[in-house]
Amino acid sequence: MKVTISLNDPDLSDEALQRYVEALVPQVKEVDGVEDATLVPFNQALAVAGMTPKSVGGFLIGAMQAEVNFENIGKLWNFLKDRLANKSLEAAFEAPDGRKFTGKANNQEDFEFLMQQAEEFFKA
């Protein structure tokens, strides 16, 4: 499953937000079940609904992607919850069969609801 996350923090400059995401990517790669994690190339801006088409160094500002098998999506969620639960974000999920789910979260309650909705969507 491909998970794309776009962070929005009006208190951070574009460069600071990008540095935050760049530091997060190698940590995500270490999560059990994550096959890969990368920044999102700018040329994918139109392919990722809701992502801001601004770039720094050829990558979408504040955006990252992770490839994870569905059985371990909970481990990725728990990792991200600890780091992103109080941040404004948009998430897009794409299953290998082409099913897609997108959602937004602005706080921990939203984040947990988004996780629950995504899991229910893909289990159906």
64 and 21 in contact (C-beta within 8 Å)? yes
Q: Which two tokens stand for residue 101?
A: 């789910």
Asked whether the predicted pLDDT for residue 122 surpasses 70, the reply is: yes
Residue written as token pair 């109080």: 86
pLDDT, residue 55, reads 54
pLDDT, tens digit (0-9, with 9 covering 90-100), for 24-76: 999 999 999 999 999 988 776 555 555 445 655 678 888 999 999 888 888 99
Pick 2-123's CATH classification: 3.30.70, 3.40.1350, 3.10.450, 3.30.450: 3.30.70
Q: Which two tokens stand for residue 119?
A: 């899991």
Asked whether the predicted pLDDT for residue 5 surpasses 60, the reply is: yes
| Spans of all domains in the chain | 2-123
Q: Which two tokens stand for residue 22?
A: 């760049």
Q: Is the dihedral of CA 77, 83, 85, 87 positive or negative?
A: negative
pLDDT, residue 124, reads 74
pLDDT, tens digit (0-9, with 9 covering 90-100), for 60-116: 888 999 999 888 888 998 999 888 878 889 999 999 999 999 999 999 899 999 989
pLDDT, residue 54, reads 62
Cα separations in angstroms, 55 against 49, 59, 108: 16, 5, 27
pLDDT, residue 31, reads 96
Q: Which two tokens stand for residue 93?
A: 């999920």
pLDDT, residue 65, reads 95
pLDDT, residue 50, reads 53
